[in-house]
Amino acid sequence: MAEVKVLGCWRSAFSLRVEMALKLKGIEYEYIEEDMNNKSTLLLESNPVHKKVPVLLHNGKPIAESLVILEYINETWENGPSILPRSPYDRAMARFWANFLDDTCLPACMKAFLSEGEEQVKAKEEVQELLKFLDNELNGKKFFGGERIGFVDIAGNVLAYWCVIIAELCLPACMKAFLSEGEEQVKAKEEVQELLKFLDNELNGKKFFGGERIGFVDIAGNVLAYWCVIIAELVGIELITDDKFPHLCTWMEVYLNSSFIKEHMPDREKLADSLRARFQKTG
């Protein structure tokens, strides 16, 4: 029998995605709780690039990043319901919306929730740490793909061209706007709500993003349905309301009241307590 382990953290929405997918597939696994303030050697060795959870270990081989892990689970184990749709078009759309949640909605939410100084200095340091991995990957190569331009090279044009423009022109203007007093949170909230309209429209006429049953995008969306709602309450922002997002609110109610989801979500009060010190505003 294959050995399956999950390195996770109880309060991580991304770890929960992996556990849900394994349980949907009926796959037995060992869960290993990680202390994110004192990361284990196993985690650091299994995910040396990001050094974060979740990580799936399958017969000793590590797979990182929650959406990547979901696809791996779906492709590796045919038993149980398919997490991704069968149709190539529907699969593409599922990936699009899952990435939309992670890459667009969540950063916009965090921007609304947090306003802190020294952001630019820290961001620059983090980017340079990440670029070291790309630099090492290109050692001895003409392109990422070897001797000719490939998938990664084409994807990398945003780094080679647009990121230079963004760094020289856009970031200073953005940082000035982000770090200034006053209307920053209001504007960030408006941006989040513009993005949420797309999700609300996508759910029109559907019980779940995948149709009649929980699927890939729904599992990815637990961070929006549960974590973001709690954080919004702590911060004192009303983001998702019935009048503005009727389909999204209906989905959240059905999703969170599903017996499968209720069984595996962390305790709400315990999660709120763990988030309170970071997010709750005082005064």
By mean pLDDT, which of 54-63, 142-151, 188-197, 218-227 is the weakest? 142-151
Q: Which helix (H) or strand (E) holds 55?
A: strand 55-58
Q: 58, 83, 43, 281: which is closest to 185 by C-alpha?
A: 281
Q: 50, 52, 59, 51: which is closest to 30 by C-alpha?
A: 59
Band of residue 175 on the pLDDT scale cut at 50, 70, 90: very low
72 and 2 Cβ atoms separated by less than 8 Å: no
- Residue 201 to residues 95, 246, 249, Cα–Cα distance (Å): 17, 9, 12
**Res. 103: pLDDT tops 80:** no
Q: At what angle do helices 66-76 and 13-25 cross, to 10 degrees?
A: 10
As a whole-number percent, the residues of the chain with pLDDT over 70 amount to: 71
146-157 mean pLDDT: 46
Write the CB contacts of 141 (distance below 8 Å, at least 6 apart in sequence): none
pLDDT of residue 159: 46
As a whole-number percent, the residues of the chain with pLDDT over 90 amount to: 26
Ordered structural domains, the chain, with CATH: 4-76 (3.40.30.10), 88-279 (1.20.1050.10)
Write the CB contacts of 33 (distance below 8 Å, at least 6 apart in sequence): 8, 9, 10
**Res. 45: pLDDT tops 70:** yes
pLDDT of residue 101: 67
Q: pTM, whole model, 2 decimals?
A: 0.65
